[in-house]
Amino acid sequence: MGRGLWKWWRHHQELTLERKLANDRRALKETEDKAKELQERYLAATTIQTGVRILLACRELERRKRAAVEKASAEKAAAEKKAAAEQKAAEEKAAQAAALREEANAAVEAAQSEASSITSTASSEASSVLSAGKSEASAILGEANSKASAINGEAAAKVKEASDQLSTAQGVSSNLQRGITRLEGDQASTQAELDKTFFLNFKKKGELKDIIKGLKKEIKEESKKLEKNEKVVAKAQGALEKEQEAADKAKAQADKIVEQATNASGKVTAAAEKKAESITAEADKKAAAVVKAADAKSKSLEKQADKLSK
């Protein structure tokens, strides 16, 4: 029962009681007036019998008066007692309803706090799983890249060494060829000078012939050196090609190592992501169940509170 309705009902009861008491007072006043009239008749009575009857009637009226007063007092006391009891019962119901609503709110708040804790813990655990997965994947890929780099580096060093040897051999051949070309030029110019020399100038012709002979000898020697060095160049070229082929194979091996590591790291990352998703999904489900149960309990408590408030 609402507090306002309770006040109205109590006021209505008090008014009803007051009206009843007023009616009792009027009845009592009428009785008193009648008793007074009887007393006067008694005084005016000419016989003892009439006086006795009047006296008895007056006593009966007095008894009724006292009985009416006692009844009215008893009814008022009973009404007040009943009203007090009903007020106490209403206050107790109101207190119980308030306690139920407070319990309902507390249940919802506790459920929300528990749900938040569940999801927060799951989020932290999922983050740890993802971090561990990424670290493991990174370690796998890092180790593979390190191995691949070492393989490629070793192969590249051998290719460079072979290339440097080829460049050195080619440089020697180039120098020899330039020397031969220079000597052949000297031979041609000396021969031209010889051809122009007067045929009776035997001394000069002899000197020029000696020079040409020396140049031919030197050209022959340098040509042999060039021919020999060309074999070195060919050998260096073959060695370079061999090292380059080995480097290509090493690169393929390194690429395969990296590819396998990439696939392995991808699987590790995918497994970590799947596990993290499972953790968060399970936590969300559990949190939702906690909130749902709290909502059901809250609605039940609110319903009980509403019944008590009526």
- Each residue's pLDDT tens digit, 152-192: 999 999 999 999 999 999 999 999 999 999 999 999 999 99
Tell me the C-alpha distance between 38 and 51, whole Å: 9
Decide: residue 68, CB within 10 A, 0-12 exposed, 13-18 middle, 19+ buried.
middle
pLDDT at 46 over 60: no
Average pLDDT of the chain, as a whole number: 86
Question: Mean pLDDT across the stretch 117-128?
Answer: 92
pLDDT at 269 over 50: yes
98 or 219: which carries more pLDDT confidence? 219
- For residue 164, the enclosing domain spans 3-309
Give residue 280's pLDDT band: very low, low, confident or very high (50, 70, 90).
very high
Give residue 3's pLDDT band: very low, low, confident or very high (50, 70, 90).
low
Please tell me the predicted confidence (pLDDT) of residue 42: 58
CB 141 within 8 A of CB 265: yes
Task: State how many domains the chain has.
Answer: 1
Please tell me the predicted confidence (pLDDT) of residue 1: 46
pLDDT at 194 over 90: yes
CA dihedral 223, 224, 227, 229 (to 10 degrees): -110
